[in-house]
Amino acid sequence: MGYQTVEVEIPSGTRRGTVYNADLLLLEEEPRAHLAAGVYERLAASAGVLEARTIRSIRVVPRELDVRLSATTRGLVLTASSGPATDGELRGTAPGDVFARFTAYSNDRRITPEKGLLPGTYATTEEDSRAVATGEQAVERYALPNPTPATYRFRIDPTAGTQHQAGIVQPAYGHTGGGVEVLFTVGTARDTVSGPAVLPEA
Amino acid sequence: MRRRLPSEWSKLLIGLPESGMGYQRVDIRFSDGSVQRDCPVFNGEELELPDRFATKEIADVKLHRTERSLRT
């Protein structure tokens, strides 16, 4: 809602990006530091930089193609909503399903002292998490409003049948999103969370 | 600006669902009656606010309700 995923041809080649409100283009590699607050006014602050580019052509990427390109977990895409996780069908996890959670905080307050997730906690699939090598990449892929690199990666091994909804992270806060998001509606059992592994910031 | 939430509000938010991985979107009502909507809170404890709200006392915190969430 309120954005279009596009491919633009500029002198240096073809780039993907997101157009907000039909008048502001942000390319995927655009610096994000000044977009920290994630509001449209901040997006507009970067317009001067963008105007300096010479766009030769621009085309809107169809939504189906956008989803296929942005989600790496083919099996999950077949069962996940192409919208956010809150639109996804409520399902139970299968035996052996593994998930990951990125955060800028080593003391993640969504993890209980018994090493479970609280109800209403988000994560991603372990497979999708492989696309993320740095804390900054996690911020971009999961469209996180906190600009601090999410360098802590927790692993979640839920018991079979744990309720969750799955979907695709929508563009937000100046980020393109596109990763898989999983919402554990009732949390996870004790002793299902381990870590964190620590990633480089950039 | 980043502002640390008083523990009473942090405890409240920990019991509420996230809006995305590691954050919640909230509406803040201040003691002077002013309201700031759709502010992100990170890890249930760090609130992102415009600078003009830096010193205002917080009277209430509620999850921000989008049109989408109101349908569910």
Which pLDDT score, from 0 to 100, does residue A64 have?
A: 45
Give the chain A residue whose CA is nearest to the CA of B22. A103
Task: List chain B domain ranges.
Answer: 2-66
The reported pLDDT for the residue numbered A82 is 82
Q: Which residues have CB under 8 Å from A44's CB, separation 6+?
A: A24
Kindly tell me if the per-residue pLDDT of A117 is higher than 90. yes
Instruction: Note the helical H segments in chain B.
Output: 7-14, 67-71
Q: How far is B31 from chain A (nearest CA, A)?
A: 24
Q: Which residue has the higher pLDDT, A97 or A34?
A: A97
Query: Which of A37, A144, A185 lies nearest to residue B23, judging by beta carbons?
Result: A144
Confidence of residue A75 (pLDDT cuts 50, 70, 90): very low
Give the single-character DSSP code of A35. Answer: G
Could B43 and A181 be called an inter-chain contact, meaning their C-beta atoms sit closer than 8 Å?
no
Give the tens place of pLDDT for each residue, A12-46: 666 677 776 666 677 665 544 434 445 455 555 55
In this structure, are residues B47 and B3 in contact, taking their beta carbons and an 8 Å threshold? yes
How many CB pairs below 8 Å do chains A and B form together? 74
The answer to whether the Cβ–Cβ distance between A124 and B40 falls below 8 Å is no
ipTM: 0.92
If we measure between CA atoms, which residue out of A177, A195, A31, A37 comes closest to residue A106? A195
The torsion region of residue A178 among left (phi > 0), alpha (psi -120 to 50) and beta comes to: left
